[in-house]
Amino acid sequence: MRMPKPAWVLVLLSLVVKGPAPAQAQAPAPNLDSVPASESKEAAALIDRAATALAGGKGPADILTDPAFMDAHQWTRFRKLIATYSTGSRTAIVTPSEPGPPLHVTGSVKKADGSPLAGALVYVYQTSSEGWYSAKAPHISGMGGDTDHARLFGYMTSDARGEFEFRTIHPKGYPGSDLPAHIHIQVTPAGGSHATLVSEILFDDDPRLTPPVAERSRREGFRICHVHVAEDGGLKVRAEFTVP
């Protein structure tokens, strides 16, 4: 009489005949993150905490470099708070744990006659070290999505000499693109209602910055900055702009 095969033998025979089950394919990351809608209860509470901290003497850099407030960065009310309290010419826009080479940017804004543009609101925003504006995707959908909701951003007010500076990380170009890495910059003169300068900071160490791309970038008014290695091992660039 034929004895029934043990269960483990049946499983083994099944694998031999059918082969192992195919690995579960991972869904690719979406290319677009959605523009935030109305504030959730949690977001509203976090932004209120930021408002209280700023009113109590914390500086915008303290808030922008605090991981506890990172989830608030995408919200319009939070960004307006940061802009309102950014009366100094220096800031920092990344937390200590943000991946990427540390970068120190110094710059100046001048009038067409060469005199300093003091008291101007300087807005910067950029991608991460993987080329993403959002924490979830490379770009943020909707009108002005990247401009108005980028995770890494900051504001400064130019000093009496037109100077400003901020600490960040070296950004990376968009994935799946040949565009070089850059930091967006917008300058609104004191008392103005809109930016009169919209430009970009680019880096001469970027392999994507080919001669034709560099030439086109200069024609568009972008600044190609030489990347220095600072004494602390971080990177440093300087960018100078003339505001029409």
Stretch 139-149: mean pLDDT: 92
pLDDT of residue 18: 43
Element (H, E) at 2: none
pLDDT of residue 134: 97
% residues pLDDT > 70 (the chain) = 88
pLDDT at 17 over 70: no
Q: How confident is the model at residue 29 (pLDDT cuts 50, 70, 90)?
A: low
Indicate the pTM of the whole model.
Answer: 0.87
Cβ-Cβ contacts under 8 Å for 46 (sequence gap 6 or more): 69, 71, 72, 78
What is the pLDDT of the chain when averaged over all its residues? 90
Stretch 59-74: mean pLDDT: 98
Stretch 198-218: mean pLDDT: 97
Stretch 183-211: mean pLDDT: 97
pLDDT at 203 over 50: yes
Range 86-242 classified under CATH 2.60.130.10: yes
Stretch 45-59: mean pLDDT: 98
Q: List C-alpha distances in Å: 58 to 30, 48, 50.
A: 36, 14, 9
